[in-house]
Structure 1
Amino acid sequence: MPLLDIRNLTLELDTEEGVVKVLEKVSLTINSGEIHGLVGESGSGRTLLAKAILGVLGSQWRIIADRMMWDGKNLLEMTSKQRRNLMGSDIAMIFQDPVGSLDPVRTIGSQITEALTPNKTVPFWRRAKDTELNAQKWLHKVGIKNPKRLMKRYPWELTDGECQKVMIAMAVSNHPKLLIADEPTNSMEVSTQAQIFRLLTQLNQLQNVSILLVSHELETLVSWCDNLTVLYSGQIMESGNTTTIIEQPYHPYTYALLKNLPEHTGKMRHKALLPTLQGSSASLHHLPAGCRLGPRCPEAQRKCVQQPKLRHVKDRYYACHFPLNNEPDDDNAIT
């Protein structure tokens, strides 16, 4: 049984100009112990999908889904209190904006110790000190050189990179079953990025923590993820095993992303232009009919004004009427 199973999720936003479908019929499955990558351009809905899983969207958002299961339990039927109990214990998230996610009038130490679950095997008169030492240990693991001094400081005294490390320490300290990492190494130097990814890999391999890694950097996700889901303008383009997708992409958008990766072999001419898709992502208020990639897709035809169904071929999922490297088959459509 999958740890997280989402089928045909649609996320609607009430605006002054009417209802906007920010996410449309998105399906996502994450198994226990899996590192799953979610890649897409800015504005593709990656962060909104992560927040919908966590249940931290505002009242103006409306979630419609055929299925949204967490470890065998229906997330859509849970009360707000039950969803809050999942946050920080079973499901944790590293937010993209660490500075805005921390309370500016409280010290780092008070915020991270509040997030930690006290060790009940320790006598109650020693739990406060034990929790403080545990907080220092996790801050040291994410690359803070002097955690004791940093715990006395406020978020506005730290750099963006230090705030990001604090958020990562708070998220991983309680050993969640699923860790949603939204651009976890943003504003960090290369050496620290490698350290953070090693820490996430250790959590995955030693403690069987599932990770949903959200990023726009396809090259990074290819290196770390078992499976990959490609999102464009609120629609799933393709999903499956990372190696298989890289070797043989079915969707034109996935192919375009792979062609856009810079080559480090020296074959590319100096300052040569990378191949790109013409045009830009559609505005949420003026979304194209059918496949949202249609106006930019080099393979688009008249049939693309109808939204393609998500199709399943040998553990691969794709939504395209005219897939690359694969013949279209009407019998494998998922309704």
Structure 2
Amino acid sequence: MVLLDIRNLTLELETSQGLIRAVDRVSLSLREGEIRGLVGESGSGKSLIAKAIVAVLNQRWRIKADRFHWRGEDLLQLPFDQQRRIIGRDIAMIYQEPSKCLDPTATIAEQLHESIPTDGLPGNWWSKGRHKRKKAIALLHKVGIKEHQAVLDSYPYQLSEGVCQKVMIAMAIAKSPKLLIADEPTTALEASTQAQLFRLMGSLNQLKGMSVLLISNELDSIARYTHRLSVLYCGQLVESGDTARVLAQPLHPYTDALIKSVPEFQPDLPPKKPLFALPGSIPTLQHLPVGCRLGPRCPNARKECVHTPVLERKQHHYFSCHFPLQYKESR
């Protein structure tokens, strides 16, 4: 069953200079029980897409899409209250900066208790608080926090960024959502804890069928955990498909550059040889190139690249490029 089905999502920001198109006709689908990776450089629009899914973008943003379905319902056509009810029930998100997302005026215990749904807790109404406390402790243990008493009694500003991130993850999985969106979930964590949390999300996916949208700018950190992968560049979807196939046979020059920049994917690279990197840097939203946005940095760019490429399909492998790599079929 398809949980999330988005077609040609466009996000535009209202500014004093006019509308700026930050996300340009991106399509994304996510099946039940799937772990989907969303990867790209900082500023490629990954977090904006996640915030559009959970409807937390402010009024300056204009959201347009040919289709924005959650389990068959078009969220953009629903009243805001009904939209928020569905999202609050079925979707949870781990934000990139946890210390800014937690309430500084409430203890961790108060915030974690609030995120635990009352439905399903055993006992009568007067014992719900005790059962919430037990579940809160169990959730903290699950994300790797052993000193639960000290953390529960603390305010967010008293905790490190890493501990706040773990608390955010505990709050996100408290209601057992059907979709967990993890936006750079391991940024502030040490390597051993990163592996633990990836294993936790993997077990939730396997045992409870929880779908996961895993967002990162580090291809190597999410490639081993995802079933399918979508690659974004500067607000445009450049490639999408099964993770193993995308890594083995990239069709877009940007995906190929990402793979070549990771030492793990270059076992034959001689010692001390520089890793491959595209020239230049990602453009700002105020100065976006016309057509293919990778054009000024692309080693294969030609005059046709001033026109925006359409998303094409080769079996279950999607790409958006006028001159794809390793693709010799006539078109």
Amino acid across the alignment from 1:24: D
* Distance in 1, Cα, partners of 2:22 & 2:147: 42
SS at match of 2:99: helix
Does residue 158 (structure 1) correspond to residue 159 (structure 2)? The answer is yes
Structure 1 position 125, deviation (Å): 1.1
Structure 1 position 149, deviation (Å): 2.3
Alignment of 1:193-272 (within 5 A): 193-263=194-264, 268-272=269-273
Structure 1 position 148, deviation (Å): 2.2
SS at match of 2:11: strand
SS at match of 1:69: strand
Amino acid across the alignment from 2:2: P
In the alignment, what sits opposite 1:333? none
Structure 1 position 270, deviation (Å): 4.4
* Distance in 2, Cα, partners of 1:248 & 1:223: 16
In the alignment, what sits opposite 1:74? 74
Structure 1 position 275, deviation (Å): 1.1
* Distance in 2, Cα, partners of 1:264 & 1:326: 21
Question: Which deviates more from structure 2 when the two are superposed, residues 260-269 or residues 146-155?
Answer: 260-269
Alignment of 1:173-188 (within 5 A): 173-188=174-189
Amino acid across the alignment from 1:272: K
Structure 1 position 262, deviation (Å): 1.3
Structure 1, unaligned stretches of length 5 or more? Answer: 331-335
* Distance in 1, Cα, partners of 2:110 & 2:94: 18
Structure 1 position 120, deviation (Å): 4.8
SS at match of 2:318: strand
Question: Which deviates more from structure 2 when the two are superposed, residues 60-69 or residues 267-276?
Answer: 267-276
Amino acid across the alignment from 2:105: V
Structure 1 position 93, deviation (Å): 0.2
Question: Which deviates more from structure 2 when the two are superposed, residues 93-102 or residues 75-84?
Answer: 75-84
* Distance in 2, Cα, partners of 1:270 & 1:325: 27
Structure 1 position 263, deviation (Å): 4.2
* Distance in 2, Cα, partners of 1:120 & 1:269: 58
Alignment of 1:103-122 (within 5 A): 103-118=103-118, 119-122=120-123
In the alignment, what sits opposite 2:89? 89
Are the aligned partners of 1:222 and 1:242 in contact in 2 as well (CA < 8 Å)?
Answer: yes
* Distance in 2, Cα, partners of 1:121 & 1:27: 42
Does residue 141 (structure 1) correspond to residue 137 (structure 2)? The answer is no
SS at match of 2:263: coil
Amino acid across the alignment from 1:309: V
In the alignment, what sits opposite 1:60? 60
Does residue 5 (structure 1) correspond to residue 33 (structure 2)? The answer is no
SS at match of 2:201: helix
* Distance in 2, Cα, partners of 1:296 & 1:181: 29
Structure 1 position 266, deviation (Å): 7.3
Structure 1 position 17, deviation (Å): 1.2
* Distance in 2, Cα, partners of 1:23 & 1:216: 16
Are the aligned partners of 2:137 and 2:148 in contact in 1 as well (CA < 8 Å)?
Answer: yes
* Distance in 1, Cα, partners of 2:240 & 2:305: 19
Instruction: Tell me how large the CA RMSD over aligned residues is.
Output: 1.4
Structure 1 position 265, deviation (Å): 7.8
Q: 1:81 and 1:266, CA in 2 relative to 1: closer, same or farther beyond 3 A?
A: closer
Structure 1 position 89, deviation (Å): 2.3
Are the aligned partners of 2:122 and 2:131 in contact in 1 as well (CA < 8 Å)?
Answer: no
Are the aligned partners of 2:260 and 2:266 in contact in 1 as well (CA < 8 Å)?
Answer: no
Aligned length in residues: 330
Structure 1 position 84, deviation (Å): 2.0
Are the aligned partners of 2:95 and 2:101 in contact in 1 as well (CA < 8 Å)?
Answer: yes
TM-score with structure 2 setting the length:
0.97
Are the aligned partners of 1:88 and 1:115 in contact in 2 as well (CA < 8 Å)?
Answer: no
TM-score with structure 1 setting the length:
0.95
Q: 1:273 and 1:36, CA in 2 relative to 1: closer, same or farther beyond 3 A?
A: same
In the alignment, what sits opposite 1:295? 296
Amino acid across the alignment from 1:30: L
Structure 1 position 329, deviation (Å): 5.8
Are the aligned partners of 1:88 and 1:174 in contact in 2 as well (CA < 8 Å)?
Answer: no
In the alignment, what sits opposite 1:51? 51
Structure 1 position 272, deviation (Å): 2.9
Does residue 317 (structure 1) correspond to residue 324 (structure 2)? The answer is no
Amino acid across the alignment from 1:69: H
> What percent of counterpart residues are identical?
50
Structure 2, unaligned stretches of length 5 or more? Answer: none
